[in-house]
Amino acid sequence: MTSIVVVTAGTSIPSSSRMLGEQLGEATVVSLVASGVPAEVTHLELRTLAVDLAQHLATRVPSGRLREAFDAVCAADGVIAVTPVFNGSYSGLFKLFFDALDEDAMAGRPVLLGATGGTARHSLVIDHAMLPLFFYLKAVVAPHPVFAATKDWGASGGKLDHRITRAAEEFAKLVLAAAPRAHGDDFEVTDFTDLLGG
């Protein structure tokens, strides 16, 4: 079973970052299943781990919930990472999580980047902040990140849907190349929000 973990750093309810992460995860599963590869998706909402991450920063000792989140990422065949844009960059919560991961946890792991913001002018956060971070972490970054501005949600023409589908298809290819699995046609979706206190 191919494992995809979706990490989202939105803090509002509902969260546009969570919505983008869900759609990217679903589209990735569709692409993997179309290739005959069963897949499961796990969602990690970092707002439910904010206190655990702050305590880890001070003590360097992960809580049980945080260790479960780390283990999920380290076991994943691919990671979808989505952040809201705060002051022209990824959120502090997003950075705190990836700083807290074990060294080399992301090395060689396929990653699809996503970001959400109020206007399209925030889209540069992917090139100027997220790409350097994940290149430093030695992740294998998918070629088509997705930025969703407020006006993209529900816009006519399905442009956001098209970008999500294209990004997921390319990401699925990276996942398959990095961790080929036995063929099948099933998938499962796991939501850890309740487990992690959301």
From residue 30, give the alpha-carbon distance in Å to each of 73, 107, 188. Answer: 21, 25, 12
Compute the radius of gyration of the chain from its Cα atoms: 16
Task: Specify the DSSP element, H or E, that contains 106.
Answer: none
One pLDDT digit (tens) per residue for the chain, 198 residues: 999 999 999 999 889 999 999 999 999 999 999 999 999 999 999 999 999 999 999 999 999 999 999 999 999 999 999 999 998 899 999 999 999 999 899 999 999 999 999 888 889 999 999 999 999 999 999 999 999 999 999 876 689 999 999 999 999 999 999 964 333 344 445 454 443 443
Instruction: Note the pTM of the prediction, 2 decimals.
Output: 0.89
Q: What residue type is 125 in one-letter code? A: V
Q: Tell me, what DSSP letter sits at residue 102?
A: P
From residue 5, give the alpha-carbon distance in Å to each of 26, 155, 157. Answer: 11, 27, 29
Task: Specify the DSSP element, H or E, that contains 148.
Answer: strand 146-149
Task: Specify the DSSP element, H or E, that contains 43.
Answer: strand 39-45
